[in-house]
Structure 1
C-alpha cells in the first residue's frame, strides 16, 4: 500500500450508527414538535435537513460506537504514514467533532447544508482533492460504489451485493471487513422477555371466574396486540434514551446503544409493530382498540417527557400496568370493578418505586441517574412511598371483602382475609429485594422468575379460589 490517504466513510463504516438518525432521535428527546416540523419541512432537501437537525440536537459524538475493525485499519494506516480522513454524507459540524475526538486528520469531507455529500457527489469531491485512484476508501453500502470506482484500494465493510466482483473486474484491490447486523439483535431490542407482563390481561377473567374459551381466546389475541405495542414502545424508548444508555454500566450493551442494530432498522420495526398492534386491536373491538391507543400514547409521552419527572414517572408506570388489566377486560368484554382498579394501582405504584430503588441501589454514584429525576439520596423517599402503596392496596382489598360482589363471588369470606397475608408478604419481599439491589431492572419480569415470590402468588390464588368455591365445584371437596 502506498502513501495515499485512507478515506473512511462514517455512517455504518467508521461508526456503527448513523449521524442523521442520531440527530433526529436526540432532537426528538429535546424538542419533539420542532424535530418533527424540521423533518417535514426539509424531507426533500437532505443536506439542509441534516444541518438543521444537527443544530437542533445535542449529539454526543464521544459516545457513538465505532467499528473496531475499521478503527484498527485506521491505526495501521496512520502508523504507516497515511493520512486518515473522514468523508461522510453527515453534516460537517458532527463529522468535524468526530474527527477531533478520535484524533484523525482535521481535513474532513461532509455535507454542508447545501450539498449532500453522498455517492457521486462524494466521489467528485475526493477526485478533485486527490485525483483518480489517488486515495483508498472504506465504505459499507451500494451508494459508495461511485467512490470505490475512483479509489485505488476498496475496503468493503459488511455485505454489499456484487460490489467485490464489479470492482475486481475493473482492477481494484478489494478488502472485505465484517459488518452488518443480525435478526438476533432486533429480537433482543424488542425485549420479548417483557411479554410476561401481559399476563396481567388475564386478571379480569380470573377475577370474574370466567374461564370459557369465549373470554380466553380474545384475551390471547389481546396479548399479541399488547406484545407488539410494548415492543414498539421499547424500541422508541431505546432510540430516545440512546445517550443515557451508553453511559449506563449495563444498558450500554443494548443493541442501539452498542451499535449492534442500526437505528434505521429499528425505525422500520417501530412502524411494523405499530401496524400489528393496531391491526389486531381492530379485529377485536372498539373498546380494546381505544385502550391500546391510550397505552401507546401514554407510553410515548412517558418516553419523551414523563419518565424524567419525579413521582410523575412512577404514577405513569403504575397507570401503564393498570391499563393492561383494563385491556384484558375490554378484550374479553367482562366487567372490571372499581375496587379491582383501586387495589391494583397502589400495588403498581409500589412496584414502580421498586424499579427506581433497584436502579439507585445499583448506581455507582450519588448523581442523578441519566435521564431520570432521582439519585441515591432519594431511596428513603421511594421506600416511604412504596410502603404507602402496600398499605393502600391491602386496605382496599380488605374493604372489598365487605362488598356485595365479594360476598357473591367469595362465600367463604374469612379466607380472603387470610389471603392478605401472602399478598402483603409478596409486596414486602419485592420492596426489600429492590432496596437491596437484588432484582432485575423490571419488577414484573423479576416476579415471574422469582420462585419464592411465585409460591406466595400461587398460595394467594389458591386461597381465593377456595374462598370462591371453585375447587369444591371442580373436585367435589
Structure 2
C-alpha cells in the first residue's frame, strides 16, 4: 500500500450515525419550530439545509458513535504514514471539529452551504486534490461509487449490493468491513417491556366489576394501540435525547445513542407505529381516538420541553399515567368515577417523584442531571412531594368509601378501610426503594417485577374483591 492518503466518508462509515439527522433531532430538541421551518424551506437545497440545521442543532460531534473497525483502520494507516482525511457531504462546521477531536488530518472535504459534496461532486474534489487513483477511499453506499471508481484501494463498509463485483472488474483492490444493524436493536428501542404499563387500561374494568368480553375485547385492542403509541414516543424521545443519553452512564448504550440503530430506521418506525396507533384507535371509537391523540401530543411536549421543567415534568408524567386509565374507560365505554381519577393522579405523582429520586440517588455527582431540572440536593423536596402524594391518594380513597357508588359496589365497607393498609404499604415501599436507589429507572416497570410489591397489590385487590362480594358470587366464599 503506497503512502496515498486514506479518505473516509463520515455518515455510516467513520460514524455509526448520520450528521444531518443528528443536526435535525438536536435542532428539534433546542428550537423545534425554527428547525421545522428550515427543513421546509430548504429540503430541496441540501447544502443550505445542512448548514442551517448544523447551526440550529449544534450537535456534539465529540459524542457521536464511531465505527470501531474504521477507526482501527484509520489508526493503522496513520501509523504507517498515511494522511487520514474526512470527506463528507455533511456540513464543514461539523466535519472540522470531528476531525480535530479524533486526531485526523485538518484537511477536510465537506459541504459548505452552497455545494453538497456528495457523489460526483465529492469525486471531482478528491481527484482535483490528489489525482485519479491518488487516494484510498472508504464509503458505505452506492452514492459513493463515483468516488470508488476514482480511488486506488476501495473499502466497502457494510453491505453495498453489486459494488464489489463492479469495482473488482474495474481493477480495484476491494476490502469489506462488516457493518449494519439488527432487528433486536429496533425492538430494544421500542421498549416492549414498557407495555406492562398499559395494564392501567384495565383499571376501569376492575373498578366497575365489568369482566364481560364485550368490554374486555375493545380494551385489549386499546392496549395494542397504546403500546404502539408508547413505542412511537419512546423512539422520538431517544432521537431527541441523543446527546443527553450519550452522557448518561447507562443510557449511552441505547440503540440510537450507541449507533447500533440508524436514525433513519427509527424515523421510519415512528411513522409506521404512529399509523398503527391512530388506525386502531379510530377503529374503536372517537373518544378513545381523542385520548390517544392527546396522549401522543402531551408525550411529545414532554419530550421536547416539559421534562426539563422542575415539577412540571412530574405532573406531566402523572397525567400521562392517568390518561391510560381514561383510555381504558373510553375504549370499553365504561363510566369512571371522578374519585377514581382524583385517587390515581396523586398515586402517579408519587411514582413520578420515585422515578426522579432513583435517578438522583444513582447519579455520580451533585450536578443537575443532563436534560433534567434536578440535582441530588433536590432529593429532600422530591421526598416531601412523594409523601404528599401518598397522603392525598389515601385521603381520597378513604373519602370514596363513604360515597353512594362505593356503598353499592362494596357492601362490606370495613374491608375497604382494611385494604388501605397494604396499599399504603406498597406506596411507602416504592418511595423508600427509590430514595435508596434500589429501583430501576421506571417505577411502573419495577412494580410489575417486584415480588414483595406485587404481594401487597394482590392483598389489596383480594380485600377489595371480598368487600364487593365477588368471591362469594364466584366461589361461594
Q: TM (normalized to structure 1)?
A: 1.00
Partner residue, 1:453? 453
Question: 1:178, CA displacement in angstroms?
Answer: 1.5
Q: Which runs of 5+ in 2 are unaligned?
A: none
Partner residue, 2:44? 44
Partner residue, 1:367? 367
Partner residue, 1:195? 195
Number of residue-to-residue matches in the alignment = 477
The answer to whether residue 345 in structure 2 is matched with residue 345 in structure 1 is: yes
Q: What do residues 122-166 of structure 1 show as CA deviations (whole Å, max 9, x unaligned)?
A: 111111111111110000111111111111111011111111111
User: What stretches of structure 1 move > 6 A for 4+ residues in a row?
Assistant: none
State how far apart, in whole Å, the 2-side matches of 1:467 and 1:8 are: 71
Task: Describe how 1:93-172 pairs up with structure 2 within 5 A.
Answer: 93-172=93-172
Partner residue, 2:279? 279
SS of corresponding position for 2:156: strand
Task: Describe how 1:47-126 pairs up with structure 2 within 5 A.
Answer: 47-126=47-126
SS of corresponding position for 1:138: strand
Question: 1:415, CA displacement in angstroms?
Answer: 0.3
Task: Describe how 1:177-188 pairs up with structure 2 within 5 A.
Answer: 177-188=177-188
Q: TM (normalized to structure 2)?
A: 1.00
Q: What do residues 39-79 of structure 1 show as CA deviations (whole Å, max 9, x unaligned)?
A: 00001110000001111112111101101100000000011
Partner residue, 1:249? 249
Question: 1:17, CA displacement in angstroms?
Answer: 0.6
State how far apart, in whole Å, the 2-side matches of 1:58 and 1:348 are: 35
Partner residue, 1:215? 215
Q: Which runs of 5+ in 1 are unaligned?
A: none
SS of corresponding position for 1:62: helix
State how far apart, in whole Å, the 2-side matches of 1:24 and 1:36 are: 9
State how far apart, in whole Å, the 1-side matches of 2:224 and 2:212 are: 19
SS of corresponding position for 2:61: coil
SS of corresponding position for 1:231: helix
State how far apart, in whole Å, the 2-side matches of 1:213 and 1:120 are: 62
Partner residue, 2:412? 412
Query: Mean Cα displacement is larger for which, 383-392 or 118-127?
Result: 118-127
Task: Describe how 1:314-463 pairs up with structure 2 within 5 A.
Answer: 314-463=314-463
State how far apart, in whole Å, the 2-side matches of 1:58 and 1:134 are: 34
Partner residue, 1:269? 269
Q: What do residues 176-196 of structure 1 show as CA deviations (whole Å, max 9, x unaligned)?
A: 112111111011000000000
Q: What do residues 362-420 of structure 1 show as CA deviations (whole Å, max 9, x unaligned)?
A: 00000000000000000000000000000000000000000000000000000000000
Question: 1:445, CA displacement in angstroms?
Answer: 0.2
SS of corresponding position for 2:110: strand
Partner residue, 2:468? 468
SS of corresponding position for 1:73: helix
